[in-house]
Amino acid sequence: MDAPYRIRPAVLADAPALVAIERRCFGDPWSEASFREALGSAWNFVLVAQASRGVAGYLIGREAGGIGEVLNLAVAPEFRRRGMGEALLEAGLAAFRRSRVDEVFLEVRESNTSARALYTRYGFRPVGQRSAYYRNPKEDALVLRLELSQPA
């Protein structure tokens, strides 16, 4: 039986755990300074999936002028396929709805089939491409968009 987990807002003290996961998940990871900046900014929100063994994943969102962006999403390899990515995305979309955001954008590597499957399942659709957006390895990004319905 999987250990339970919960989604909670991140605090500055989570930065080292987030960086450690980030480095295991991406060839072009965010720096610790970028995480600290996101955690300290009033324009961003950071959610973590807290498992009994520690932080297992996170989502970083940003809102400006009614437009939301998912800036980062990752789940540590040993915690994948247990619904944490989905739970983080749902909590992020709920936060955007609370801020009256009506469209959300994100970038994803073209080859990232697992993340693309997750986003497609939530209704994100490709609306553009950024050439050579990623490094290590160099790759184009697909830009995905989701129109958010507001609660009645």
Residues lying near ligand COA in the complex (CB under 6 A) are found at 25, 73-75, 80-86, 108, 112-115, 117-118, 121
Q: Is 107 a catalytic residue?
A: yes
State the pairing for strand pair 67-75/103-109: parallel
Amino acid at 119: Y
Catalytic-role residue among 90, 107, 110, 133: 107
Residue (of 29, 78, 71) closest to 49 by Cα position: 78
| Cβ–Cβ < 8 Å for 106, 119 | yes
Q: Is 119 a catalytic residue?
A: yes
Using CB atoms, what's the residue nearest to ligand COA? 85
Q: Give φ, ψ of 96 to 5 degrees.
A: -65, -40
Measured from the CB of residue 110, what is the shortest distance to ligand COA in angstroms? Answer: 11
Measured from the CB of residue 10, what is the shortest distance to ligand COA in angstroms? Answer: 16
Which residues form the catalytic set? 107, 119
